[in-house]
Amino acid sequence: MPQIPDTSSTLLGAIAGDAASPRWGEFVALYRPGLAAWLSASFPALGPEAEDLLQETFVAVAAKLPNYRHDPAAKGLFRSFLVGILRNKALHALRARARAAGALEAAAPELAAAAAAAGAGEDADREWRHAAYEVALRDLLADPAVAARTKRVFVRVAVEGAAPAEVAAEYGLARNAVDQIKSRCLRALRERVAGLEGLLA
C-alpha cells in the first residue's frame, strides 16, 4: 500500500504553488487509484478517455491548490474537492463527444443520468467509499505477505458470496478456519480503507 503522509495538509502545503516539488509524485501515486476507481464506476462509457481526464484533473488541481485552504468543517472533505473537478471534466468530455457526433440533444438523457450517478455531496462521498474499497481490495489481494490460499478463500466467501461450509469443503479446512480467514481479511481491508479515507479527509 502507498505510504500515507503525516497529514493531508502537510502534503498539500508541500506542493501548493510548487509544480517542481518532489512530493507531486507522492500526491499522484496516493490519490490516483481512488480517483480512477471512482471515474470508472461513475462514468464507464468514457473508456480510454478516462486516463486523459485523470491527467487533466491533476493539472487543474495544481492550478487551484495555491488558493485552496484545507478546512473540512467549512469547505467539506478534500476528496469532494478532487471528485468535483474530475466529475466536471467527465461531464464536459461527454458533452464534447455528443457535440462532435451532432447529437447533443439526443444525448441529454444520458448526460443527465451520468450526472445523477456521479452525484454530489453524500452521493459523491458514497461513491468515493466504494472506490476506496475497490482500491483496498486490489491492494490486499496483491500483498505478498498474505498467503495465496488465504486470498482465494477470502474471495470465495466475501467477494463471490459462497457459503463458508462450501468453501471449507473445497479447501479442506474447518468451517471455523474459513470464518477466521474472512474476519482477518475484512479487518485488514477496513484498515486499508481507513488509511485511504483518512488521507483524503
pLDDT digits (tens, 9 = 90+) for 98-157: 655 554 444 444 444 555 555 555 555 666 666 667 777 877 888 888 999 999 999 888
Average pLDDT over residues 62-80: 75
- Please report the pLDDT score of residue 105 as a whole number: 43
Rounded alpha-carbon distances, angstroms, from residue 114 to 15, 95, 157, 180: 32, 11, 32, 40
Share of the chain above pLDDT 90, in %: 15
d(C-alpha 5, C-alpha 12), whole Å? 10
- Does residue 49 fall inside a structural domain? yes
DSSP for residue 173: -
Cell for 19? 509544480
CB atoms under 10 Å from CB of 29, counted, come to: 11
Residue with cell 483518512: 198
- Please report the pLDDT score of residue 134 as a whole number: 72
State the amino acid at position 147 in one-letter form.
A
- Please report the pLDDT score of residue 93 as a whole number: 79
Q: At what angle do helices 78-100 and 104-118 cross, to 10 degrees?
A: 170
Instruction: Give the CB-side neighbour count of residue 114, counting CA atoms within 13 A.
Output: 22
d(C-alpha 146, C-alpha 141), whole Å? 8
- Does residue 140 fall inside a structural domain? yes
| Confidence category of residue 17, pLDDT binned at 50, 70, 90 | confident
- Does residue 15 fall inside a structural domain? yes
- Does residue 173 fall inside a structural domain? yes
Backbone φ and ψ for 149, nearest 5 degrees, come out as -65, -35
d(C-alpha 123, C-alpha 131), whole Å? 12
pLDDT digits (tens, 9 = 90+) for 163-201: 999 999 999 999 999 999 999 998 888 887 776 655 544
Q: How far apart are the first and last CA of the chain?
A: 18
- Does residue 2 fall inside a structural domain? no
DSSP for residue 6: S
How many structural domains is the chain composed of?
1
Q: Looking at the whole model, is its pTM more than 0.75? A: no
Of residues 19 and 16, more confidence is placed in 16
Whether the pLDDT of residue 84 is over 80: the answer is yes
Note down the domain range covering 54: 8-199
- Please report the pLDDT score of residue 6 as a whole number: 37
- Does residue 1 fall inside a structural domain? no
- Please report the pLDDT score of residue 37 as a whole number: 84
Cell for 9? 495538509
Segment among 4-8, 87-91, 109-113 with least mean pLDDT? 4-8
pLDDT digits (tens, 9 = 90+) for 50-64: 899 999 999 898 888
Q: Kindly report the CA angle at 190 between 171 and 71, in degrees rounded to 5?
A: 165
Average pLDDT over residues 71-100: 75
- Does residue 187 fall inside a structural domain? yes
- Please report the pLDDT score of residue 168 as a whole number: 93
- Please report the pLDDT score of residue 63 as a whole number: 87
- Please report the pLDDT score of residue 26 as a whole number: 86
